[in-house]
Structure 1
Amino acid sequence: MSNKYELMYILRPDLSEDQVGDAVTKYQDYLSETGAENLEVQVKGKRRLAYPVGKYLDGIYVQMNYEADGSQNAPLERMMRLSEDAIRYLTIKLKKRAIIAQENATAEPIADPADD
């Protein structure tokens, strides 16, 4: 059974654009190879952290949304834990209400009948 997941992770702020691209591609390729579908990646850019993580005050935020059976999550998080590029990560399973709200937010706005 396939579930929808959202993975948010923070990369070190001192990475170059090429290194960020390589890190994102590494995790994206892993998910694709292990059967994840509808993979969407959004690099949110460098932002200030709410609190220091190690010696870092900033981080590069990346969000991945995908559908999978869940067996990919633990090995992917292990890859991130062992990597020096990712300083924080969190994977959540989206609930049906969140999925519906997300789909409604991306849908076309309905035309106002008063505009006619």
Structure 2
Amino acid sequence: MNKYELMYILNPNTEESQREALLEKFKGIIDADGTVDSVEQWGLRKLAYEIQKEKEGFYVLVNFQAGPDLNKELDRNLKIADEVVRHMIVKIEE
């Protein structure tokens, strides 16, 4: 199992219930083939540049361990979700 870090930014207009539902959905995908180590909700932060006419975004950081095949499924689900503005999955080298 490899260690990964997932950072995704949600549209700032997303309601709290939707944010929690998305977090649970992504955690469920990770738990199917790995384990979630930690989840940090950074909240609303200013974006470096305007994305979809928005200047702020809701940041979420997830650290997890999983096999290499999980990233494809997780990436696919992040791309499908309309509320997700940007995302990045990075392998953590030890």
The interval holding the TM-score normalised by the smaller chain is: over 0.9
> Residue 67 of structure 1: which of 65, 68, 72 is its match?
65
- Name the amino acid aligned to 2:25: K
- Name the amino acid aligned to 1:27: F
The number of residues matched between the two structures is 94
Normalised to the residue count of structure 1, the TM-score between the two structures is: 0.77
Give the corresponding residue for 2:24: 25
**How far is the alpha carbon of 1:39 from its aligned partner?**
3.0
- Name the amino acid aligned to 1:59: G
Give the corresponding residue for 1:93: 91
RMSD: 1.0
Q: Is the 8 A contact 2:40 2:62 kept in 1?
A: yes
Structure with the higher fraction of residues in strand conformation: 2
**How far is the alpha carbon of 1:85 from its aligned partner?**
1.0
Give the corresponding residue for 1:9: 8
Question: What is the DSSP-based 3-state SS (H/G/I as helix, E as strand, rest coil) of the residue aligned with 1:27?
Answer: helix
Residues of 1 paired with 2:46 and 2:23: CA distance?
Answer: 20
Give the corresponding residue for 1:81: 79
In the alignment, structure 1 segments of 5+ residues that lack a partner are 97-116
CA shift digits 1:68-112 (9 cap, x unpaired): 11211111111111110100000000011xxxxxxxxxxxxxxxx
Q: Identity of aligned pairs, percent?
A: 32
Structure with the higher fraction of residues in helix conformation: 1
- Name the amino acid aligned to 2:41: V
Q: Is the 8 A contact 2:27 2:36 kept in 1?
A: no
* Aligned pairs (5 A) from 1:21-60: 21-33=20-32, 35-60=33-58
Residues of 1 paired with 2:79 and 2:36: CA distance?
Answer: 24
Question: What is the DSSP-based 3-state SS (H/G/I as helix, E as strand, rest coil) of the residue aligned with 2:22?
Answer: helix
- Name the amino acid aligned to 1:17: E
